[in-house]
Amino acid sequence: MNPRRIILAGGSGFLGNALAKHLWERGDEVIVFTRQPRGRSDGVKEIAWDARTLGNWAQSVDGADAVINLAGRSVDCRYNAKNRRDIIASRVDSTRVLGEAIARAQQPPRVWLNASSATIYKHTFDTPMDESGATGATPEAHDAFSIEVIKQWEQALNAEYGMRSTDVRRRLLTSSPTKTRKVALRISLVLGVEGGVFPVLRRLTKFGLGGRMGSGRQFVSWIHLADFLRAVDWLIEDENISGAVNLAAPNPLPNVEMMRLFREAGGVPFGLPATEAMLEVGAFFLRTETELILKSRRVVPGRLLAAGFTFQFPELRGALKNLAAAGSENRPD
């Protein structure tokens, strides 16, 4: 495959690091926008940006093949007033300023993939949610703030960004640019060895705390990191896909079954359950929110499957077996 120039905004976290490595190993030129750039030995270039205002970083957008935006403050925190403001601003501002940079580019990227979340769908136990599924808050799930974040996030992606008059005149003197295709990545729980929830749940299971959480009825949508990376590649290349796309394996499952499979993968015969009251106390001391655990997300990848994408890990048992083996290989003797 031909090498591409890929811009990766917010590429310093778990998913960003994995994606940068994946794209660079594929042979692409990878440029990461980050608040704290550092020298790297792997060939990936890091450029400073503040994720709010246009700067010299915008020059790299001009002529790039793709822009991928993963920027956003972690939602693993208490939703007090300050954290709410920071969560929304970090997502909306970074998306808006990338839109402005793309609008000013003489050679805009072919595609712009912007992170979103599968949490946008209704809290449900019985209806699988593809991209046509019902969205919105459910009082039982205490997810009103999360839904508002995602709505503003996707609105920022879908906005029309204007150009200054000088930019318009410059474009009139050049060939008409191709309009940048936009894709909202509605990402579910990504399972990988180096970060995210897999190491946390594996550790809890090891210590005998791998029982059901709350009622255990809530569905969990997930995707193996390898399939996440492959899906991003697919979406960069498939010019027929735009709009919202669910990044989730085709087989979500109830929390109680997920935890059973974690125990099976870890060779642990039992796991103490955690009631909702226990989870509330734990969330308070860990400075997080129980919504992240208790909302039922039965999300399926309708558009990826319709486009012919094949999952390497469609079932959680196989995904956990693979990750457990990879984790064992990475541990020092």
Tens of pLDDT along 57-102?
A: 999 999 999 999 999 999 989 999 999 999 999 999 999 999 999 9
pLDDT at 328: 67
Identity of residue 126: D
Rounded to 5 degrees, φ, ψ at 253 are -150, 160
- Alpha-carbon dihedral angle through residues 25, 106, 49, 86, given to the nearest 10 degrees: -100
Report whether pLDDT(175) > 60: no
Count of domains in the chain?
A: 1
pTM of the model: 0.92
Task: Provide mean pLDDT across the span 130-146.
Answer: 95
Structural domain harbouring 158: 5-330
Residue 44: give its domain's CATH number. 3.40.50.720
User: According to DSSP H, which parts of the chain are helical?
Assistant: 14-26, 58-61, 81-104, 144-158, 165-172, 197-206, 225-237, 255-266, 276-286, 291-294, 302-306, 316-330
Q: What is the pLDDT of residues 13-31, one digit of tens each?
A: 999 999 999 999 999 999 9
